[in-house]
Structure 1
């Protein structure tokens, strides 16, 4: 399932809120393909993303990797 990569609909969630909603948010990522940016004091510090998106990104970074992946 493709990830939500539209910057106009990015989901941001503070660390405290994430702690309280972690189970539900992990399901959003796994099932819906949503990317969730974790914030600390309004600054993005991490992201939750579907494993396929992470693997594709890592592959693109490898020498000889496919940058379009």
Structure 2
């Protein structure tokens, strides 16, 4: 009986360690997702700003594509 309890305690210890490792991994991944979302928003704003600037440019000042 003692051997069975010891075996269960060992399994529980390994499961607790695995759970902590998984929690750490998920937290780190969430931080990476948050950072990527911030970078995406900044890039999106840059593209919108560039598109707005290009739309406001004077078409007579542009060089035709065949040059």
* TM-score class, shorter: under 0.3
Of Structure 1 and Structure 2, the greater strand share is in 1
The alignment's TM-score, normalised by the length of structure 1, stands at 0.24
Determine which structure has greater relative contact order: mean sequence separation of CA pairs < 8 Å that are 6+ residues apart, divided by chain length.
1
